[in-house]
Structure 1
Amino acid sequence: MLYIDHFTLNIPDTTKPRVIIIGGGFAGMNLIKNLSGKDFQIVLFDRQNYNGFWPLLYQVATAGLEPDAIAEPMRKMFTGKEDFHFRLVRTTGVNLATKTVSTLIGDLTYDYLVIATGTKSNFFGNEMIKQYAFPLKRMRHALDLRSHLLQVFEQANMINDAALHQSFLNIVIAGGGPTGVEVAGALAEMRKYILPCDYKGIDFEKMNIYLVEGNDRLLPAMSPQSSSWTMRYLQKKGILVKVSTRVKSYDGKLVTLGNGDEIPAQTLIWAAGVTGELLNGLPAGSLERSRILVDEFNQVKGLSNVFAIGDIALMKTAEYPNGHPGVAQPAIQMGKHLAQNLTRRLRKKSFLPFQYFNKGSLAVIGRNGAVGDLPGNIHLTGFLAWMTYLFVHIFYLIGFRNKLVVLSNWIYRFFTYQRGNRLIIRPYVHKEDKAGQEFVDRYLE
């Protein structure tokens, strides 16, 4: 029984400035790392108790890694940090007049408020797609998708009806950005090297992986060179790429595209866009395109002592008129920079403007296959880009253990072509999927 009526935030009173941070992603974590507990009381609110390295989330979804290989408990990350307090709660809003943050179990006043809530999947108002598609933004999404995919193959192995069997072998991925192409590449490798060994009764030559992108090229945020190389690489791997079209609807069984094509499929993976995780109580004038407008100091436009960092922040500059890209590096750099500025404010020094250093973009599409756009107009493809991707992602993983686990997994897979995490530990079905629920009840529970 959950005694929520008896819960309290239980944050001690303090004479130091209190910094409340909402969101423990790349931005929030780097802010906390660089803030001194001797100077500030630091309070973090988040709905999950871990920080994850989300660029590798697709590998959890495709049975390449276990969740704990890319995540670290927040309390462990800041063990011994002075005057740091974490609460596993959902923030419901902010009262700017009283400088108060509201949660489901109480309110807390702040001296400085930092919003680092990031983004969530954008279904563009299509409730049916939201109901049946699989997003890939959080760890639970990856675990749900992994369980679903493994259950789909188990069921396909026991179906004789040809049309129904084919619908289980069709997988549609909506969105040709980094997440979409990485999932497509990972599934193509599973189809070639792993699934035929596990399911001898299925002809995986008939397994279709569709990648649907609304723009006229894949990886639209990267260079045309990277886009064209990725298109050729995926097509060579047998991915059915459809550009300049979008997923129009999905009812759990039939994917309908904007051009009228229909694809019978039990799986639609949604990587077609994101929208900001906004906080109730912010004035409309501080919002634009589901993000929070900030100045060059990451301070929310029109507000004092309220800041936004990471993907949720919209900082318009001459180089980035639509804001910085929603990737890890801007969030990491904003977190570090804001920590520096808050410390300067405490020392009665003026803020320094944020300057983003673009370290480039990388996307991996499969074994020995990746693309990279690096500073200096350098474009990498193939094995060299793949090695760069591996090095960069190992470097930015949190904790020595995670680095070792991921590296050993990648070495194992390089030589064996295997993915060792094909366990259906938590069976998953959509609420409205009666056939799927019957399968789980009868065979898995």
Structure 2
Amino acid sequence: MLYVNDLSLNIPETTKPRVVIIGGGFGGVNLAKNLSGKDFQIVMFDRQNYNGFWPMLYQVATAGLEPDAIAEPFRKMFDNGEDFHFRLVKITGVNPVTRTITTLIGELQYDYLVIATGTKSNFFGNESIKKFAFPLKRIPDALNLRSQLFQAFEQASLIRDEPLRQSMLNVVIAGAGPTGVELAGALAEMREHVLPGDYRGLDFEKMNIYLVEGNNRVLPLMSPESGSWSQQFLEKKGIIVKLGTRVEDYDGELARLSTGEEIPTQTLIWSAGVTGALIDGVPAESIENGRILVDQFNQVQGLPNIFAIGDIALMKSKKYPKGLPGVAQPAIQQGKHLAGNLARLLRRKPLKPFNYFNKGTLAVIGRNGAVGDLPGKLHLKGFFAWITWLFVHIYYLVGFRNKLVVFSNWIYRFFTYQRSNRLIIRPFVRQEDKAGQEFIRRYQED
């Protein structure tokens, strides 16, 4: 048996400055890639041993891709990295005074600390929604949602009670940002082209997909043109769009909306908000609206030698008074830029301020349907935006194998409409779901 007392971080001593990176997302990975192992010892911590391409997570959840097609192990990404060390350990706190980070198995001193922990789902204090809804932030979330969807269809094919069967077929998506819109479009395509052939005894014209958004348009962070076109595209696909509406409560069986409407459903997908994944030890005065305040050099306010990049960092400017948008590009650019600034610190040269270059935002809604807001107030929509989305996402995937797998999957689906990963590998059942537990016991236990 392995005991915590038997473990240690096992990081070799070094005479070089030690850069500790907490988080291996877009920001952390691009920082590590651009730091020189000859100049620094680089230590990365993450709660998972891989980097994922999260903009395509919804495709794992809707059976379009397997998880290993959008992920790459850190140890493979940095197998040639000089003086790079990865540890699959949770960080429990930071001590700016002693320049140490603490973990469950020990402490480690740093010369420079970079917090790149990203965000987590924000349930706005609603414990019931947190308990029963399905978030979509990590690969385990996507696999849980995939299992839930297909378990619901399997159970619906066995149920004679019409109201209960309908609740199995209803899917509610809270939040009409890119994740919610892309999920809704993918589910609509499954409903039209895949599920009727798999479950011939079910009438999928009765499957309702609700997209609920508290703002007055879908894709509220994109242009009004993109939001309007996307809503029309979704409604043509049969998505029920409810704007100016919030999901106020959910008990695992009934979603209650702010309008008073109640929707019976076994599947509520939560994409309605995120908040920063904060670390204990960062003082309250350095935090605002769940994110860490940083200056133009990504240095944390009031904390020398501690930096924050990506979604966790709140960098205000005249153009972005509420901080940079929580998308991949700011994290990628900040990671690369901070690597250069750390090298300047080492050589005692002045730091260069970070300037964000907005390359645009893309969202896909379904086959031949996407929208894009590009620099110069250029707006794309329809087939050309969809092709642009495909190639941009292939480009940013990590690893040649992943690019090839994803591209071949998309070609196959374009001609066949099929989603071949409709497997319930690990059944997902909540403790409170007695019906689900009985389903597993009767039909899947040895």
Counterpart contact for 1:20–1:114, Cα < 8 Å = yes
Counterpart contact for 1:297–1:353, Cα < 8 Å = yes
| Cα deviation, residue 2, structure 1 | 3.5
CA–CA distance in structure 2, aligned partners of residues 38 and 25 of structure 1: 23
CA–CA distance in structure 1, aligned partners of residues 282 and 406 of structure 2: 40
Deviations 1:62-94 (A, max 9, x none): 000000000000000000211000000000000
1:345 paired to 2:340:
no
What residue in structure 2 maps to residue 190 of structure 1? 190
2:12 match: secondary structure: coil
Q: Report the residue type matching 1:413 in the other structure.
A: R
| Cα deviation, residue 392, structure 1 | 0.2
| Cα deviation, residue 340, structure 1 | 0.4
What residue in structure 2 maps to residue 52 of structure 1? 52
| Cα deviation, residue 438, structure 1 | 1.2
What residue in structure 1 maps to residue 128 of structure 2? 128
What residue in structure 1 maps to residue 38 of structure 2? 38
Deviations 1:361-388 (A, max 9, x none): 0000000000000001100000000000
Equivalent pairs counted in the alignment come to: 445
What residue in structure 2 maps to residue 416 of structure 1? 416
Q: Report the residue type matching 2:319 in the other structure.
A: E
Q: Report the residue type matching 1:150 in the other structure.
A: F
CA–CA distance in structure 2, aligned partners of residues 437 and 134 of structure 1: 18
Counterpart contact for 1:292–1:313, Cα < 8 Å = yes
Counterpart contact for 1:216–1:244, Cα < 8 Å = yes
1:423 match: secondary structure: coil
Q: Report the residue type matching 2:25 in the other structure.
A: G
What residue in structure 2 maps to residue 169 of structure 1? 169
What residue in structure 1 maps to residue 154 of structure 2? 154
Q: Report the residue type matching 2:424 in the other structure.
A: I
What residue in structure 2 maps to residue 361 of structure 1? 361
| Cα deviation, residue 431, structure 1 | 1.7
CA–CA distance in structure 1, aligned partners of residues 414 and 5 of structure 2: 52
- The 5-angstrom pairing of residues 231-310 of structure 1 reads 231-310=231-310
Deviations 1:138-195 (A, max 9, x none): 0000000001101000000011111111010100000000000000000000000000
| Cα deviation, residue 242, structure 1 | 0.1
CA–CA distance in structure 2, aligned partners of residues 442 and 30 of structure 1: 48
What residue in structure 1 maps to residue 440 of structure 2? 440
Counterpart contact for 1:211–1:242, Cα < 8 Å = yes
Q: Report the residue type matching 1:231 in the other structure.
A: Q
| Cα deviation, residue 3, structure 1 | 2.2
CA–CA distance in structure 1, aligned partners of residues 434 and 2 of structure 2: 30
TM-score by length of 2: 0.99
CA–CA distance in structure 1, aligned partners of residues 282 and 318 of structure 2: 26
Q: Report the residue type matching 2:38 in the other structure.
A: K
What residue in structure 2 maps to residue 375 of structure 1? 375
What residue in structure 1 maps to residue 427 of structure 2? 427
Q: Report the residue type matching 1:135 in the other structure.
A: P
1:324 paired to 2:324:
yes
| Cα deviation, residue 315, structure 1 | 0.3
Identity of matched residues, %: 74
Counterpart contact for 1:427–1:444, Cα < 8 Å = no
CA–CA distance in structure 2, aligned partners of residues 441 and 41 of structure 1: 51
CA–CA distance in structure 2, aligned partners of residues 38 and 442 of structure 1: 59
Query: Structure 1 stretches (4+) deviating beyond 4 angstroms?
Result: none
Q: Report the residue type matching 2:408 in the other structure.
A: S
| Cα deviation, residue 434, structure 1 | 1.1
What residue in structure 2 maps to residue 385 of structure 1? 385
2:194 match: secondary structure: helix
CA–CA distance in structure 1, aligned partners of residues 265 and 247 of structure 2: 13
| Cα deviation, residue 430, structure 1 | 1.1
| Cα deviation, residue 399, structure 1 | 0.5
CA–CA distance in structure 2, aligned partners of residues 431 and 41 of structure 1: 45
CA–CA distance in structure 2, aligned partners of residues 440 and 340 of structure 1: 54
CA–CA distance in structure 2, aligned partners of residues 444 and 355 of structure 1: 55
Q: Report the residue type matching 1:299 in the other structure.
A: Q
2:345 match: secondary structure: helix
CA–CA distance in structure 2, aligned partners of residues 326 and 229 of structure 1: 22
CA–CA distance in structure 1, aligned partners of residues 281 and 303 of structure 2: 12
TM-score by length of 1: 1.00
Counterpart contact for 1:226–1:372, Cα < 8 Å = yes
What residue in structure 2 maps to residue 208 of structure 1? 208
1:65 match: secondary structure: coil
What residue in structure 1 maps to residue 336 of structure 2? 336
Deviations 1:206-247 (A, max 9, x none): 000000000000000000000000000000000000000100
CA–CA distance in structure 2, aligned partners of residues 234 and 6 of structure 1: 55
